[in-house]
Amino acid sequence: MLMKHIAKKRFGQNFLTDQSIITSLIDAINPKPDEIIVEIGPGLGALTKPLLAKINHLNVIEIDRDIVSWMQNEYQKPAYAHNIIDVHNIDALKFEFKTLGNPIRVVGNLPYNISTPILFHLLENLACITDMHFMLQKEVVERMVAEPSTPEYGRLSVMLQYYLQMEYLITVPPESFEPAPKVESAFVRCVPHATTPYVAKDVSLFSKIVLAAFGQRRKTIRNTLKDFLNDHDFIALNLDSQLRAENLSTQQFVSISNYVSTQK
């Protein structure tokens, strides 16, 4: 029996209810019994219950105390007697994923209002993460996997692609949720690079350069990166200063960052 729960806007709650979509997501995740899996935003169990049917131990992160209270009741039932579920009543942005062990897999229907901060928080925990599967706003997933010189390509694309290989898996319509969001959703797979293709010598500097470049994306990089590069530097980098940030690949941003780091 489903809990009668009114979705809370402040937590960005939209509960997945389409069983065929749920089956497709579980198939994409392909959980194995002994894996350490953590689910962000378990809600009313759309992914939690089928995950528990396939694995021995599940960690869930849920900020809503009402749902936590329901979960502590629901998962004490005989049907779940052979499974262990640890409920962490905490904001995912404050959770230290490395405390769960190594390696871990992360899944979830992320709250759309804070999905980007959660993704960046997870980047700080990649050392212990094998892969991640998330439901997100379709527009966000399109930005994550976007290629240079496309409208969707931006800071999020560059920063995530530096760390991750990503695959757009499934488009999910609004009617698959209760309440239905005003936007389409998508399911994405994110796998940390086994070996980083292009290594930034100073990741903090790399991040600052990417942020500056996309800060005014209609301007050329001659203007947006003037605090980092002069005309001579563009020549040394063999880089057209009239390009815009969206025209540069992750590799090019790494090259700029590494060049600037040597000029200090």
Q: How far apart are CA 148 and CA 249, in angstroms?
A: 6
Q: How far apart are CA 71 and CA 3, in angstroms?
A: 9
Better pLDDT: 215 or 80: 215
Confidence band, pLDDT 50/70/90 cuts, at residue 179: confident
Which tokens hold the place of 184?
């389409």
pLDDT at 6: 47
Give the pLDDT confidence of 186-196 residue by residue, as tens digits: 999 999 999 99
Q: How far apart are CA 103 and CA 122, in angstroms?
A: 14
Q: Are 234 and 240 in contact (CB under 8 A)?
A: yes
Domain ranges of the chain: 9-192, 203-263
pLDDT at 13: 55
Q: Are 134 and 190 in contact (CB under 8 A)?
A: yes
Better pLDDT: 173 or 78: 173
| Single-letter amino acid, residue 175 | E
Q: Tell me the pLDDT of the chain averaged across its residues.
A: 92
DSSP tally for the chain: helices H, then strands E: 10, 9
Q: How far apart are CA 238 and CA 264, in angstroms?
A: 20
Class of domain 9-192 as given by CATH:
alpha beta
The superfamily CATH assigns to domain 203-263 is rRNA adenine dimethylase, C-terminal domain (1.10.8.100)
The structure tokens 């901060």 sit at 117
What's the pTM value of the predicted model, to 2 decimals? 0.90
135-154: average pLDDT? 97
Closest CA to 115 of 134, 94, 128: 134
Which tokens hold the place of 142?
């399109």
Give the pLDDT confidence of 1-49 residue by residue, as tens digits: 444 444 444 444 578 999 999 999 999 999 999 999 999 999 889 999 9
Three-state secondary structure of 74-116 = HCCCHHHCCCEEEEECCCHHHCCHHHHCCCEEEEEECCHHHHH
